Amino acid sequence: MLAPPIAPAVLLRNIAITFGAKEAGYTAVKSIDLAAKPGEFIAIVGPTGCGKSTLLNASAGLLKPSEGHVEIFGTPLSGLNGRAGYLFQQDALMPWKTALQNVSVALEPKGVGPAEARDRARDWLRRVGLSAFVDRYPHMLSGGQRKRVALAQMLIRDPEILLMDEPFGPLDAQTRQIMGNLLLDLWAANRKAVLFVTHDLEEAIALADRVVVMSAGPAARIIGEFPVTLPRPRDIAEVRLDPSFHQIYKEIWASLRAEVQKAYAQEEGAAP
Amino acid sequence: MNRMKLILLQLAVGIAFLLLWHVLTAYPILAPTRQTQFFFSTPLDVLARVWKEFASGEIWRHLGITLLETILAFAFGAGGGILFGFLFARRALLAAVFDPYIKAANALPRVVLAPIFALWFGLGIWSKVALGFTLVFFIVFFNVYQGVREVSPVVLANARMLGMNERQLLRHVYWPAALTWMFSSLHTSVGFALVGAVVGEYLGSSAGLGYKIHEAESVFDVTGVFAGMAILSIFVILIDAVVTFIERRLLVWHPSPSTNGQG
């Protein structure tokens, strides 16, 4: 008996994204093919400026690819991707709303009443460990706490796809580990397809089921996909000590190193 | 401790100024006292006059009228500024078409409008409200226009990814952003509302602080002019304190509300 084929949560088919005029424009990515199964955690790594975020924006519908097309659960994407949540690298909370208001407002487009939205937001802030900070405004919170609020704001809508653009980039090393573990716990409880962009290879391996490596831009391509078979549940700090972690790291770094050097050389060359 | 020191220094500057004024007008140092007192009055005379104005209760009516004009000018100017700032920021074509006219209108010194307004609205409060309106409107308009256009693209993208429609974006993102910018110009715009009221009164009216000052000036009553200016200053400081209080309450989410846009 054949099970019906499951459509990928996100399918990028032959994507190219060019900024500016067709001829003179800058092509960020080219010939990208990527499929994320439902419940699969994919980390995308690559040198700076390789267009990793561009791919997320295309999957979110914030950016229309110049070539190719995006499918979400088998349906071609047009307009914004309503089934995805997006965690931005920069602060994206509304600064004029408290933590609680920022999270509860995410339920308003779903038609949830204000009282219920508040209750559920309170529960989510508890889950990300911010019970004591519900009435704080973003500027009164630390960088890590703001990310927790943003995480709760994204997850409360229960999106089927999570798009994350170097979400823990601005945080210090310890906070990153704590946030990584929090993310893994929340994800393990309710598995969604994840596209997680990072420039930190260790973070990518510690979190993901599969690491996708991109080449240096312009016209960046996918140059390798590496499954990560480390057992779950994982602890971000401890998994790094696992011998097979090193094995995977070496393998991926071998293909990534040349690209990082290429990107670095380009930046050097471009500098006046 | 530091704060005490600051207040003491501030008081010292004021007392030094008053002492200098007193010494130069009470003794014939630069010129005969009759002459210096005619041109500069004396601090004690001015103080006595201010006291008399308040004691007789005469000044309250004028203060009330100036305050009413200021509040009305601010309310209409801010309301119009928000409305049009919003509209223009969201409709690029409208903004592009009206751009030269708005610049031209804003470049016009408002004082020249005072006689026109007096002609149109009479010598009562409405000609002063109109003058204050033209000053407040443009400040709020430009601030709101800027504020709505410069809403952080990340905050906006995030709100859209949360599934917000146009109406919800307006309510949760654009509107608060616009209000922030309006509040950041609150001190300036309230100040200009008052300027409009006083200048309007000065140029033609039968009541208000501007009228009092003009009246004293027309009979070379320097003491009266200075007394009017002193009362005006106290009035401005009080209004500014109220504005600061309101601002603190409304911008509670803001990192440093009190240091914002005190232009």
Question: pLDDT (tens digit, 9 = 90+) per residue, B2-52?
Answer: 889 999 999 999 999 999 999 999 888 888 888 888 889 999 999 999 999
CA distances from B161 to A82, A162, A242, B152, B181 (A): 7, 11, 37, 14, 25
- Nearest residue of A to residue B256 by CA position? A139
B129 closest CA partner among B66, B180, B182: B66
Q: Do A42 and A150 have their domain in common?
A: no
3-class SS at A26?
strand
Chain A residues touching residue B163 (CB < 8 angstroms):
80, 82, 106, 109-110, 157
Our count of domains for chain B comes to 2
- Nearest residue of A to residue B168 by CA position? A109
Domain boundary among A143, A158, A173: A158
Our count of domains for chain A comes to 2
Q: Do A76 and A130 have their domain in common?
A: no
Query: Residue ranges of chain A with pLDDT lower than 70?
Result: 1-5, 22, 269-272
List, in sequence order, every residue forming a beta bridge with A153; answer none if it has no partner. none
Q: Do B14 and B137 have their domain in common?
A: no
Judge whether residue B97 has pLDDT over 90. yes
Judge whether residue B155 has pLDDT over 90. yes
Q: Does A105 touch chain B (CB under 8 A)?
A: yes
Q: Do B167 and B214 have their domain in common?
A: yes
Q: Do A232 and A252 have their domain in common?
A: yes
Q: Do B73 and B182 have their domain in common?
A: yes
Q: Does residue A119 fall inside a structural domain?
A: yes
Chain B residues touching residue A80 (CB < 8 angstroms):
160-161, 163
CA contacts within 13 A on the Cβ side of B22: 11
Mutate to test the interface with A, among B161, B166, B183 (most CBs of A within 10 A): B161
**How many degrees, rounded to 5, is the angle at CA A237 between CA A233 and CA A242?**
75
Q: Does A93 touch chain B (CB under 8 A)?
A: yes
Tokens representing B93 are 């074509």
Q: Do A78 and A99 have their domain in common?
A: no
Judge whether residue B257 has pLDDT over 50. no
CA distances from B130 to A261, B62, B174, B186 (A): 66, 18, 28, 18
- Nearest residue of A to residue B165 by CA position? A109
Measured between CB atoms, which of B161, B165, B168 is closest to A60?
Answer: B161
Q: Does A161 touch chain B (CB under 8 A)?
A: no
Average pLDDT estimate for B164-173 = 92
Domain of residue B32 covers: 1-40
Order the strands of the A10-19 sheet from edge to edge.
A26-36, A10-19, A67-72, A75-76
ipTM: 0.88
Q: Which residues contact A34 (CB under 8 A, 6 or more apart)?
A: A10, A11, A12, A42, A55, A212, A222
Q: Do A106 and A183 have their domain in common?
A: no
Q: Do A164 and A69 have their domain in common?
A: yes
A64: domain CATH number is: 3.40.50.300
Q: Do B22 and B144 have their domain in common?
A: no
Judge whether residue B258 has pLDDT over 60. no
pLDDT band at residue B1 using 50, 70 and 90 as cut-offs: low
Those of residues 13-72 in A touching chain B at CB distance below 8 A are: 60, 62
- What is the pLDDT, as a whole number, of residue B111? 84
Q: Do A38 and A110 have their domain in common?
A: no
CB contact under 8 A, B180 and A96: yes
A47 CB neighbour count, 10 Å cutoff: 24
Contact between A59 and A195 (Cβ < 8 Å): yes
Q: Does residue A185 fall inside a structural domain?
A: yes
CB contact under 8 A, B157 and A62: yes
Establish, for the pair of chains A and B, how many residue pairs have beta carbons separated by less than 8 Å: 64
Residue with tokens 């804003």: B106
- What is the pLDDT, as a whole number, of residue A272? 47
B92: domain CATH number is: 1.10.3720.10
Domain of residue A229 covers: 7-83+160-262
Average pLDDT estimate for B241-245 = 89
Judge whether residue B263 has pLDDT over 60. no
- What is the pLDDT, as a whole number, of residue A112? 92
Domain boundary among A158, A177, A198: A158
3-class SS at A223?
strand
